[in-house]
Chains A and B, each alone.
Chain A
Amino acid sequence: MILSLLILIPITGAILIAFVPREQENVVKWLALGTTAVALVVSLPLYFGFVDNASGYQFEEFRPWIPPLNIAYHVGIDGLSLFLILLTTFLTLISVLSSWTAITDGLKGYMALMLLLEAAVIGVFVSLDLFLFYLFWEASLIPMALLIGKWGGSRRVYAAVKFIIYTMAGSTLMLVGALVLYVNGGTSDLPTLVNNLELSQNLQIILFFAFALAFSVKVPLFPLHTWLPTAHVEAPTAGSIMLAGVLLKMGTYSYLRFAIPLFPDALAYWSPLLVTLAIVGILYGALVALVQDDVKKLVAYSSVAHMGFIVLGTFSGGQQGMSGAVLQMINHGLSTGMLFFLIGVLYEQRHTRLFSEYGGLWVKVPVFGTYFLLAVFSSVGLPGLNGFVGEFVILLGTFKVNPIAAALGTFGIVLAAWYLLTATRKMMMGPFNEANKNLKDMNLRESGIAFALIALCFVIGFFPNLLFDKINPATVELAEIIKATALLAGQ
């Protein structure tokens, strides 16, 4: 029931908002905040009621939807999706709060879309039926594109159209692939397909491509990444938080949920390419980030690099890599979400994101500066904070399988330090730029948001086993699938 509730609560909230008169902005805000808060509270039992070290899906629900076609409303979670759902409900709350004063125009539609986005994304993470999944996958595009297209920067329409067309083009083949699976298996139910379907290796290779293309665009994997910087630069702050924090994870999550268990025999064929692209993405994203003059673009390219780590762990890290990848999805959501939020705080006051407009801010806004530095440290992967655990475990797992990839990936963290510290130096350090003399430090709402984010980063950094205990059972199974096919391929 909880999972369905989690989808229904935001939708209900959106509908309620639609009935509020346009002028009642406060009602809209509080309604949106209340809805996301309720969703967050409702999602918490997922964590506390989750049975550790148990295999299979939990909180499962199964209702026939189109019985003659064997299509059902089948939802459930395991270690792969549990934390992504919590991340979604948490980040949506943060997003609504971060838009409190930033959005002045068309607030009603904005909040309603934000809630619809939450519902669609949760739907993606809980679906265990291919058609249900596809439905939510495509549904999540629309609110995001509208958020960018209406509340974005100067080239917002271009960015929104690029975003929607690029990702949709990527996922068309996935629909075809899903149909082929459906025709072959007679059902669209994921667990049934995984257990019963025997496909030839060639067909698996083709279908894997169809699915992986959709996921890789979403991740985004080099060289399919160019929609991301455009979308981030134009998106409003909360849009960027949701985009980087949650939407990108749909891609990496779906690799683990669909691509690997459905097409295990195709892995030997495709994973070298994916690993190579991930490595290229790590190094390339970092190098490109180094010379950006817009701080949001820098963070966008850093996402390309960070998501590369997740793909690397997924496809070459064994169990350690996959558990690390799942953790790193959460980590990236928190740290990049925080960076985007902080940039938004500055943007709201100064309406620019160019490095040249800032400098020496730490003197003027010490609280902001400290949070910014902590967010950067989290993103750089410093021990004690969350990013370190994920990156370390991914690289450790990768090293055992593929030492060269691990070495190149490890070099990526040097570059990460280079570009993020350069950004810090340009914005926070050096002589104070007088253009910022009216800058105000964070207010209670803003520092509350930042504190919540960074506190979670510390908790994960100190006690990663709180998460790993729940993630591991799911990745054990995947690792066994991979190991089994590797053995078969070896024979």
Chain B
Amino acid sequence: MTQLIWLTIALPILGLLINGLFGRRFLGNRVVSIIAPLMVLLAFLVGVGAFFETMGRDGEAVTVHLWNWTTIGDFSVPINLLVDPLSLTMVLVVTGVGFLIHVYATDYMVHRDDHGHAHDDRDFPRFFTFLNLFIASMLVLVLGDNYLMMYVGWELVGVSSYLLIGYWFDRPSEEQTPIDLGPDTEPVQLQPLLSPAASGMKAFIVNRIGDVGFALGVFLIWSTFGTLQFDEVFAEAVHVSETMPTVIPWITALLFVGAIGKSAQLPLYVWLPDAMAGPTPVSALIHAATMVTAGVYMIVRSNILYSLAPNVSLWIAIIGMATAFFAATIALVQVDLKRVLAYSTVSQLGYMFAAVGVGAYTAGMFHLVTHAFFKALLFLGAGSVMHALHDVIDIRRMGGLKDKMKITWITFWIGGLALAGFPLMSGFFSKDEILAHVFEASPILWFFGILTAGMTAFYTFRAIFIAFHGKPRDHHLYEHAHENRAPITFALSVLAVLAIFGGLLGLPAFMGFTHYLDGWLEHVLYELPHGAEEHHMSVTMEYILMGTSAVIAVGGIALAYFFYMVQPSIPQNIARSLRSLFALLAHKYWIDELYDTLFVQPGLKLSNAFANGLDKLIIDETFIDGSAKLVGRFGKLLSKLENGYTSNYALATFIGVLIMISYFFLR
């Protein structure tokens, strides 16, 4: 199976070709919705096979050579696939979660009327074509054995994301209902939501800004190491860092710029919340579980480079934690269920970067995996609600849904508990491991981390209590709400199991358990030869930190319960008394508007000035046409001499001859 790992990429490509070329005209939606998930399932099975073989090899890496891509002089890049514990972890997450989401989407993307009859949706094959394209691209990203293939995958997932966010490209932008703060207070107006087409474009362009950094990082790697192959670069890294100490910090910083874009960190996170304009399975797969974690994967893959650049790593931790905190504050007041989850994703990605920034690569990967489970679950749960409520996503119109949608309600609770870090859920172990490592590196960062954890628990359960509990706010919607069909509940249930037990991958070692992930990733993580002796904190300290996390999580949930179930007037009162702060959060700190005035509008103004001023008036009309006109005018002037009297011409000739002759004589 290891040698056949290329099938994991080829199968989704086969699926997208079949569905893309024939789905609309010949196959019909039913066949399409079998082929697309089947291909991903087969890819998953290939991945599982490779996983067991790699286990048997004790985690040793195998490279599968496919063909030589580009060779020019001393630049040579093959298309190789690298099968090692790290890439297999990602392959299993991508294809596993991807398969569940494909299954989910086969029902979610079908629009039904009130009697349950499916509409004949001609765009249905297009969705699965793009979704398969994403799976293939993501696998290129994680399986490539060199930075160029990583960059290729990096760009391709960006384009799949663009296509999928803009899937409903003909929908317009939407106004949002203002937030009512009770009588005799002016409601807080909200910005309109971008249209899907605009959101997709925004995502692509913001990502490309990050990609500039990534590309430059790749160029710098090549001009320093003369190769882009992972193994060759990593083998030389220590040597290079001794001979050229500034290069590796530059490389890591530039690559991290790419990660900032792709993984939605400060200051390039702005595209992710708008990406929620896409269909919910897309949000679950791309914008929660897989694509956005590519930055974390990249850093873990290049762990030796980052270990050699401690200053850059520190900044990564700081940026990560700042993002985690910042996004969590915004999530506190969002009224759109998917956007709460989107900001929570940004925030959780911040945790992962904080982890890899302080050198806890395994912890980062651990959280990546558990987050993929519970965040996919939460998004799919939100999608299930949307599907039942005919695309209503505003939590202010929900309420009491737990009686109507039992499975969605229970699984959403499980996902919420895991996200909040409730003890013994998967998110608890991975988040705790990160926080412990962060505490070791810097207690201040840890403080922000634990604060964020509290906010996470609060905003997650705020959404849950408003949406699923209490009394229905919109009776018409409530009446029509219903539990969804098998594909949706199946995906939710499987993910719920994973969200509960995902923590078993990395039970804390200090409690005497085996940390499977640690052993599994051992071969991928490089030890610095002269690295400082790892100093472990005491077991007591670990217990104290873990206890704090647990208390904070439970506290956050309890606070949400008190605010939204016991005393629903409190949050409104707080919002009223802190109106400007509330408005600031509700408007997402006006960051979008800031970027618009700082970059987009000046860019457009410059464009206009260039197009209509410099290009049209100055270069073209003044210089080019101007010089043509100048020649024309000079010609007009000369043509005055041509007065049409032959004798004048003859006279001129004679005078000319005379001058020439006299020149010869007088010389």
Binding site for B on A (CB under 8 A): 162, 165-166, 223, 226-227, 284, 287-288, 290-292, 318-320, 323-324, 360, 362-363, 366, 377, 382-384, 388-389, 392-393, 395-397, 399-400, 403, 406-407, 410-411, 413-414, 417-418, 421-422, 425, 428-432, 463-465, 468-469, 472, 475-476, 479
Contact = CB atoms under 8 A, between A and B. Distances in A.
25 contacts: A162-B624, A162-B628, A287-B606, A291-B604, A320-B75, A323-B72, A377-B159, A382-B159, A392-B215, A395-B215, A396-B219, A396-B222, A403-B219, A406-B216, A406-B219, A414-B208, A421-B162, A425-B201, A429-B197, A430-B195, A431-B172, A463-B69, A472-B72, A472-B73, A479-B73
A284 B70 contact: no
Given A162-B628, A410-B216, A465-B68, 18 more contacts: A166-B624, A292-B611, A318-B73, A320-B75, A363-B170, A383-B151, A383-B152, A388-B155, A392-B148, A395-B215, A403-B216, A403-B220, A410-B215, A414-B211, A421-B205, A425-B201, A430-B195, A465-B70
Contact of A288 (B67, B73, B611, B628): B611
B619 A463 contact: no
Contact of A414 (B68, B70, B201, B209): B209
B619 A226 contact: yes
A396 B75 CA distance: 9
Nearest to B608: A291
Interface residues of B, number: 52
Interface of B: 24, 67-73, 75, 148, 151-153, 155-156, 159, 162, 166, 169-170, 172, 195, 197-198, 201, 204-205, 208-209, 211-212, 215-216, 218-220, 222-223, 603-604, 606-608, 610-612, 615, 619-620, 623-624, 628
Most chain A CB within 10 A, of B159, B607, B620, is at B607
A287 to B, nearest CB: 4
B607 A288 contact: yes
A413 B197 contact: no
A288 B619 CA distance: 13
A439 to B, nearest CB: 15
B197 A425 contact: yes
Contacts of B222: 396, 399-400
A430 B197 contact: yes
A392 B214 CA distance: 12
Contact of B212 (A290, A319, A410, A463): A410
A366 B170 contact: no
B569 to A, nearest CB: 42
Contacts of A475: 72-73
A291 B655 CA distance: 59
Nearest to B73: A319
B226 to A, nearest CB: 10
Given A287-B610, A417-B204, A429-B169, A411 B212 contact: yes
Given A226-B619, A430-B197, A413 B212 contact: yes
B294 to A, nearest CB: 14
Contact of A226 (B73, B215, B219, B615): B615
Nearest to A416: B208
B208 A287 contact: no
A475 B611 CA distance: 36
A256 to B, nearest CB: 15
B607 A291 contact: yes
A438 B156 CA distance: 35
B607 A287 contact: yes
A284 B606 CA distance: 10
Shortest 10 CB-CB distances between A and B: which pairs?
A399-B219, A429-B169, A429-B197, A383-B152, A226-B620, A319-B73, A400-B223, A290-B607, A291-B607, A287-B607
Nearest to B628: A165
A410 B214 CA distance: 10
A384 to B, nearest CB: 7
Contacts of B218: 396
B72 A468 contact: yes
A382 B155 contact: yes
Nearest to B621: A226
B73 A382 contact: no
A31 to B, nearest CB: 34
A393 B169 contact: no
Most chain B CB within 10 A, of A421, A428, A472, is at A421
Given A382-B156, A417-B208, A464 B73 contact: no
A292 B607 CA distance: 9
Nearest to B195: A430
A287 B603 contact: yes
A429 B170 contact: yes
A162 B629 CA distance: 12
Contact of B216 (A287, A399, A431): A399
Contacts of A366: 24
A284 B195 contact: no
Nearest to B155: A383
Nearest to A384: B156
Contacts of A320: 72-73, 75
A280 to B, nearest CB: 11
Given A410-B215, A417-B204, A463-B67, A384 B152 contact: yes
Contacts of A383: 151-153, 155-156
Given A414-B205, A417-B205, A472 B71 contact: yes
A220 B534 CA distance: 60
Given A287-B606, A290-B604, A291-B608, A324 B619 contact: no
B69 A395 contact: no
A468 B209 contact: no
Contacts of B615: 226, 288
A431 B607 contact: no
A262 B216 CA distance: 33
A422 B201 contact: yes
Given A226-B620, A425-B201, A431 B170 contact: yes
Given A399-B219, A417-B205, A291 B155 contact: no
B216 A429 contact: no
A417 B155 CA distance: 12
A421 B166 CA distance: 12
Contacts of B619: 223, 226
A430 B170 contact: yes
A397 B218 CA distance: 12
A173 to B, nearest CB: 15
Contacts of B606: 287
Contacts of B152: 383-384, 388
A344 B623 CA distance: 31
Contact of A425 (B72, B198, B216): B198
Given A395-B215, A431-B172, A319 B72 contact: yes
Contacts of A406: 216, 219
A324 B218 CA distance: 17
B170 A360 contact: yes
Nearest to B620: A226
B72 A324 contact: yes
Contacts of B153: 383
A182 to B, nearest CB: 29
A389 B169 contact: no
A56 to B, nearest CB: 18
A223 B620 CA distance: 9
Contacts of B73: 318-320, 323, 472, 475-476, 479
A432 B216 contact: no
A476 B148 CA distance: 23
A395 B219 contact: yes
Contacts of B68: 465
